[in-house]
């Protein structure tokens, strides 16, 4: 009996891949496929997209996984198509139709309703979601025909605009805070218009400061002769933070986890307190918290220099 050939050892890959997730694939499956192509040791994604959704899925490899939480907290922008007049069990195309109504809605009525959803609002999480109750995902209860009470949660709709309306399809652009369910937003808009709705299509086009500019499909990634060249550097996740450039001695102390008093050093200090990205000779050392009196407190450090 022939023994199996030994598995190829994984490589220490560091960076960020902006993947265009295809419809029908879970975020985790997309991550595993990309990880296999890059032969990467360590990988993680920055918040799931539903299988029926497409678009920007930032994947973090190696040292970048230390900063993936920042994107989980970031605002996100979506292009969504709302199908008015039809309600489904899941609020999207994956569910069964539960009710149909006539659609007699004008563009003016839509604009008036959208205005009501801008800013801070409350949303009731859907039953078909990964939120857990007593250690069990809500979608598992839903599949058993069980509907549980869910408490409304605060979210913020930073931007909500009408892109196109050709009844019964309503296209919108949404920028929202973390924890927002665009499916629920679509359903709530339909309810406010009196005809009900479900989400027909959803595409994510921005996560924090990351956009679709360098996004690549899974097929193009798999066919690329040098897929590692498609990775953005680790600090692509941190572009919204001010930067601090340290001297060689300060960089050494910073990487040892020491707090630094920058007030008397020849280092340019940002004008505002808060999180900063820290460099030496253009290489990312990690992130830190810039505190009062120009105290730099290390936060997350990069082990392998980028």
Neighbouring CB atoms inside 10 A of 94's CB total 16
**HEC readout, 162-228:** EEEEECCEEEEEEEECCCCCHHHHHHHHHHHHCCCEEEEEEEEEEECCEEHHHCEEHHHHHHCCCHH
Which of 212-216's residues contact partners 24+ apart within 8 Å by CB, and which partners? Answer: 212/18, 212/20, 212/55, 212/56, 214/18, 215/18, 215/19, 215/20, 215/55, 215/56, 216/17, 216/18, 216/19, 216/20
Environment class of 138 (CB within 10 Å of its CB; exposed 0-12, middle 13-18, buried 19+): buried
Q: Which of 20, 50, 92, 235 is catalytic?
A: 50
Q: Between 182-193 and 107-116, two packed helices, what is the crossing angle to 10 degrees?
A: 130
Q: What token pair was written down for 158?
A: 């930073």
Q: What is the largest CA-CA distance in the chain?
A: 73
**DSSP string covering 272-285:** S-EEEEEEETTEEE
Please tell me the distance from the alpha carbon of residue 162 to that of residue 101, in angstroms, as a whole number: 22
- 75 carries an active-site annotation: no
Active-site amino acid positions: 50
């Amino acid at each position: 009996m022939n023994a199996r050939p030994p598995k190829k050892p994984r490589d220490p890959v560091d960076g960020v891949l902006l993947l265009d997730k295809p419809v029908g694939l879970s975020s985790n499956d997309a991550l595993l496929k990309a990880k296999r192509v890059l032969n990467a040791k360590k990988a993680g994604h920055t918040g799931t997209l539903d299988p029926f959704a497409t678009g920007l899925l930032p994947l973090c490899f190696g040292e970048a996984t230390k900063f993936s939480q920042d994107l989980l907290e970031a605002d996100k922008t979506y292009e969504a198509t709302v199908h008015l007049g039809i309600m489904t069990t899941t609020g999207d195309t994956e569910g069964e139709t539960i009710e149909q109504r006539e659609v007699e809605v004008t563009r003016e009525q839509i604009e008036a309703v959208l205005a009501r959803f801008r800013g801070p609002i409350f949303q009731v999480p859907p039953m078909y979601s990964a939120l857990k109750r007593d250690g069990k995902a809500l979608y598992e209860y839903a599949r058993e025909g069980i509907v549980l009470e869910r408490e409304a949660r605060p979210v913020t709709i930073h931007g909500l605009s009408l892109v196109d309306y050709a009844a019964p399809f309503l296209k919108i652009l949404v920028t929202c805070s973390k924890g927002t369910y665009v499916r629920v937003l679509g359903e709530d808009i339909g309810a406010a218009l009196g005809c009900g709705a479900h989400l027909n299509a959803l595409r994510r086009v921005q996560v924090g400061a990351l956009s679709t500019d360098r996004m690549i499909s899974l097929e193009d990634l798999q066919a690329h002769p040098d897929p590692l060249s498609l990775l953005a550097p680790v600090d692509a996740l941190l572009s919204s933070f001010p930067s601090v450039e340290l001297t060689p001695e300060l960089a050494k102390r910073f990487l040892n986890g020491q707090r630094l008093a920058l007030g008397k050093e020849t280092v340019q200090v940002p004008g505002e307190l808060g999180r900063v990205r820290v460099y030496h000779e253009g290489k990312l050392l990690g992130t830190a918290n810039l505190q009062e009196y120009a105290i730099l407190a290390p936060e997350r450090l990069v082990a392998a220099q980028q």
